[in-house]
Amino acid sequence: MTAPPPPRRSQTRARDLERYASLFAKRTRVMRSSAMRDMMEITARPEIISLAGGLPDTSTFPPEAFAAEMNRITKTAVAEVLQYGPTEGLDIVREQIVKVMAAEGMRIDAMDVTVTTGGQQAIDLITKVLIDPGDVLICDAPTYPGAISTFCSYEADIVQIECDADGMRMDLLEQTLDALAARGRKPKFIYSVPTFQNPGGVTLSLERRQKLVALAREREILVVEDNPYGLLRYEGDSLPTLYSLDGGNYVVYLGTFSKILSAGLRIGWIVSPTPIREKVVLGKGASDLCTSTLTQNFAGEYFKKDRWQEYVADLVGIYRSRRDAMIGAMSEYFPHGATWNKPEGGLFIWATMPDVLDTSDLLAKALGKGVAFVPGTSAYVDGRGASSMRLNFSGVKEDEIIEGIRRIGEVAREQLGLYETMTNTNEMRLPPRPQDPGEETDQ
């Protein structure tokens, strides 16, 4: 018996494209250039050391724990996990989310939780229900590149507030809010990753947390607190989340299991006041009806047992060593004038090269040496960040981290050396500007 021919995509022809071009919504216009996206394609090749991802290390998850959960599901819940579930999520997961959030000092009601398909859908849904095209929203500068894509797809007017070592600068935030108010505008929400920020690695100080929550109350502005990394703290004392400082009035909380259990399960959540939750559930229903009941079932049972905290503790140990390996390598190999932070937790280090270096160009050279990172411009909407880069230390083993940083340092030094050669030699003999009359004729 011969197999049926494989299904084919219909051929897209140039004329078809021309026809569709006028149909695309404005929001489909992506921010990043296609050339850059193509360049990132080669990070998928196995020989590339990729410090570009945001991947948790799932290699240490015990296979027997996975098998045990799946066995239990097979024996007790096959019909259920093959079926649709409630849009807001299964109760067994919502109850465990209450527990996981309690581990970070938050007290919530399971009824306020909407389970989402990963943290990315949480960002998507909250933007979907709050943002009309042209609405202002505020976020960190730099901010999570994946959030920019979402905000752009809803045609938000994105205003970024500069961060320093203590996170988003509240003085600038206040100035911006005042300036917006003077023009009769008010942001729909302030999006922030206050703890171990992606991509900056910085943590909002307690004082600023209190200030932000107070501002939100005074001015009646929602704050969307995205907290994927809060439990991954490698040193220092935990700070209260914005949610716990505010009590859930003006702070909407986004969480995820991606970094403390598995990104592949695609389970995140939103904790929000009831009126927002109702809209979010409507929005989610329209998007995907429900999050996978199979993975919800898995997570619901997994978090019932206390070993989830042991696993997080294991991850913390692994990631701390990797962070330290990366920082050690940066001190040794990065060029004079480069700066970086030492995050107390999370997955990322933000490094800034001397400002003559453009990290998009540097990436091209680095890829040639088999190492990748995320250029800083992807964390801004206005082209800033050109000399910065985001480096991930969670997804790569220590020896590879060190080798990757060594290679980035090498290409950065090469480029800086070249630039110095050109500018030093040239300093006294800059060519005449074209508007200088008469000087070009005798050359």
Partner 1 sequence: MKVALLQGGRSLERGVSLRSGARVAEALLDLGHDVETLDLGPELVGRLESYRPDVAFIALHGTEGEDGTIQALLELLGIPHTGPRVAACQRCMDKSLAKYILRENSIPTPDWVTYSEAAIRDFGAASSFQQATAKVGLPLVAKPASQGSSLGVKVVTRAEDIPGALMTALSYDSRALLETWISGRELAVSVLGDQALPVVEAIPTENNAYDFEARYEIGAASFVCPAELSDEETDEVNRVALAAYNALGCSGFSRVDLILGEDGPQVLEINAIPGLTETSLLPQAAEAAGFEFEAMVEKILDLAT
Which residues of the shown chain bind partner 1 in the complex (CB under 8 A)? 6, 8-9, 11-15, 17, 21, 24, 29, 33-35, 37-42, 45, 356, 358, 361-362, 364-365, 367, 415, 417-419, 421-423, 425-426, 429-434, 440, 443
Q: Which is nearer to partner 1, 59 or 425 (CB)?
A: 425
Q: How far is the CB of 373 from partner 1 (least distance, A)?
A: 14
Q: Which is nearer to partner 1, 32 or 342 (CB)?
A: 32
The span from the CA of 317 to the CA of 314, in Å, is: 5
Q: How far is the CB of 22 from partner 1 (least distance, A)?
A: 10
Least distance (Å) from partner 1 to the CB of residue 423? Answer: 5
> What H or E segment, with its residue span, contains residue 116?
strand 113-116
| DSSP-assigned beta bridge partners for residue 349 | 391
Alpha-carbon distances of 40 from 87, 365, 370, 412, rounded to whole Å? 35, 13, 12, 19
User: Nearer to partner 1 by C-beta: 235 or 440?
Assistant: 440
Closest residue by Cα to residue 45 from 347, 368, 282, 355: 368
**Which phi and psi angles does 268 have, rounded to 5°?**
-130, -175
CB of 155: closest distance to partner 1 in angstroms? Answer: 15
Q: What angle do CA 85, 91, 97 make, to 5 degrees?
A: 120
Q: Using omega within 30 degrees of 0 as the cis cutoff, is the peptide bond preceding 4 cis?
A: no
- 206-219 and 170-182 helices cross at what angle (nearest 10)? 20
Q: Give the nearest distance from C-beta 96 to partner 1 in angstroms.
A: 40
Smallest gap from Cβ 217 to partner 1, in A, equals 42
Burial of 243 (0-12, 13-18, 19+ CB in 10 A): buried
If the CB atoms of residues 28 and 59 are measured against partner 1, the closer one turns out to be 28
C-beta separation of 360 from 36 below 8 A = yes
HEC string of 274-317 equals HHHHHHHHHHHHHHHCCCCHHHHHHHHHHCCCCHHHHHHHHHHH
User: Closest approach of Cβ 253 to partner 1, in Å?
Assistant: 36
